[in-house]
Structure 1
Amino acid sequence: MHNVGSTLRHQLREESFPALCVRFLTRRFIGEYDHKKEMTYRCSRVVDQEAVELEILDLVCKDSTAASLESSIRWADGFLLLYSITQRPSFLEVPALKRLIDQTKQSLVVPTVLVGNKADLEIGREVTTEEGQTLAKDLRCTFRELSVAEAALAVEATVLQLIRLVLDQQRPLPDRRSYMLSVRHALTRKLTRSKTMQW
């Protein structure tokens, strides 16, 4: 089971992350939600020919205690940090939240995708694409800018990107000794071929 946490909706309209989840799960867009408590969505997906069971937690940060927030962060394997390009305060809250995630997970590499939502509302833009890219680089996140309302495929690609980051992190690293042996064998074969060609 792979757990994905949404961890930023302080300044966004309450429907932002639920809308993203419903888009991912059903490809439908529903713009109105009465959503005042955390929700967990469950689904199965095949990602790169691997069956993946997902639990996606929609966390209402402003109503969470510090202890419950840290507990939710420990629970999650990866994170979508969602802000609105039309609401700069939501963007400005991202760094502190990412620091909390890193401290709680006690890791320098936490699978995280920074998502700038409402890319269809260009006329009300308060956060540039370049600012989002720069912040993602500073926070060691990948970055996506999209419109949940208009781009079901972009939403799916974003969640799948996070799933791949989680899967890559959880795969065991190759055994160093066996890796060195395979490199040595490859070099030996190459040297043998070179000598054969010379003669």
Structure 2
Amino acid sequence: MEFLRKNLEALRLSLLGTAGLFLCISSCSGPVAREVRPEEKGGGPKPAIIKKPPSTYNDTLRITGPSAVFYSPDSVQMDKIRAVNKKDVFAMLTHDCHYQMEYSRLVLQKHWPGVRVIDTFRARYLLFEKADKSRIYIDLNDKNDICGLFLFDGTKDPVLADMPNIDTVLGFYFKHQ
């Protein structure tokens, strides 16, 4: 009888422990929600969006016929861009622009020699004149990139090209007329 009483007590403790564990697990169905501060997410508060400073010039560049128009900031704009960015960010931006534009020029020279290449840093406005005499104006102050490339075939609307994918972009834009 003593043996049965000891085993029964152990069985009760075992059942009580199992029930307690089950209640604990079932009541904790998810993590406790709490507000995560920006500095806990890493990197601190989000940086402000920096808008490209306006052009120093108000000139208009007129473009007709198949063209690739590279644009970049004038020297005053470049100084303002440098002033609002960290040194390493500014270096990355100018490095990316330089190599993307250089690569795009090489692809244009090699595969699309009939497309006129135009460089501008003094024009604020681009005026694309189509063969049907309609016009498209583009204000480069509205483009927040420090450099870029517009493609124009003389008939369709100009497009802002994705320079890292220039091989594909040129084929789609100029071949699908």
Shorter-chain TM-score tier: under 0.3
Q: Report the TM-score, using the length of structure 1 for normalisation.
A: 0.21
> Normalised by the size of structure 2, how large is the TM-score?
0.22
Higher relative contact order (CA 8 A, sep 6+): 2
Larger Rg: 2
